[in-house]
Amino acid sequence: MEDKIVLVTGSSRGIGKDIALELGEIVGGVAVHYFSQKQAAMGVVDTIKKKGKLSAAFRADLSSERSATLLVQRVQKTFGRLDILINNFGPILVKPWKKVTSEEWETVYRNNLLSALFCTKAALPGMRQKKWGRIVNLGYSRVEQLTAFTTITPYAIAKTGLLLLTRTVAHTEASSGITVNMVSPGLMEGGVLPKDTQVPAGRLGRNADICSAVLFLISEDAGFVTGTNLIVAGGWKL
């Protein structure tokens, strides 16, 4: 992995930041994406550079296909390649579905599903050319449970669509040496918690748990793993 370049979307803070920092330990370079928090993104870049690795921050509005495509192109121009894409960007909206405006539906949909689609489409040609690539999408632990989600309806629908996209791209790109998988966190420390917070494992999830799953899926050990949804939730809502 020492020669690989990775792009982590939404990596100025939260899970994305920790994924970027963890990957900074093993890959050759990390592209840190942000939308509004430039200083936070630069802090992540500085930390990675102190480890002797390449890093740079890139601003982009991933709800726009043009902006997402330009982001990938800028990363490729800066580092000379892009081998691994982590589609982490995607804010949640907690609001009763009857009160969600049409603009909010569109925003959640574009930021959680279309952003990953746009970045994936832009990154695939370079990966195909090298016959190697890793794409990991961040989901939600109950994404395969087709049940009612009354307060996160747009988010749940978008993440369900992202799972279908994950498996579709995994199927079509397997012959090109590209794996596409999803990591789906459950209830996380510092996250939005519903009333039912009884986790069988006895604790909430930590960012380190998600990082471990991502590290496995991009590794050579997972070279035959594609189209899977790896649920990291400590047994919650099974």
Among the options 34, 109, 140, 155, which is catalytic?
A: 155
pLDDT tens-digit series, residues 64-90: 999 999 999 999 999 999 999 999 999
Q: What is the mean pLDDT of residues 11-22?
A: 96
pLDDT tens-digit series, residues 20-71: 999 999 999 999 999 999 999 999 999 999 999 999 999 999 999 999 999 9
Asked, for residue 206, whether it belongs to a domain, the answer is: yes
Q: What is the mean pLDDT of residues 204-216?
A: 95
Asked, for residue 237, whether it belongs to a domain, the answer is: no
Asked, for residue 130, whether it belongs to a domain, the answer is: yes
Q: What is the mean pLDDT of residues 229-237?
A: 93
pLDDT tens-digit series, residues 108-135: 999 999 999 999 999 999 999 999 999 9
* Structural domain for 152, as ranges: 5-232
CATH code for the domain in which residue 185 is found = 3.40.50.720
pLDDT at 196 over 80: no
Report which of 15, 59, 62 is spatially closest to residue 33, judged by C-alpha positions: 59
Of 135-149, 158-172, 183-197, the one with minimum mean pLDDT is 183-197
Asked, for residue 135, whether it belongs to a domain, the answer is: yes
109 is catalytic: no
78-82 own/partner pairs: CB under 8 Å, 24+ apart: 78/31, 79/5, 79/29, 79/31, 79/54, 80/5, 81/5, 81/126, 81/130, 82/5, 82/6, 82/7, 82/31, 82/123, 82/126, 82/127
State the Cα–Cα distance between residues 124 and 148, nearest whole angstrom: 34
Residue 2, pLDDT score = 86
Asked, for residue 238, whether it belongs to a domain, the answer is: no
Q: How many domains does the chain have?
A: 1
Residue that the structure tokens 């990938």 belong to: 72
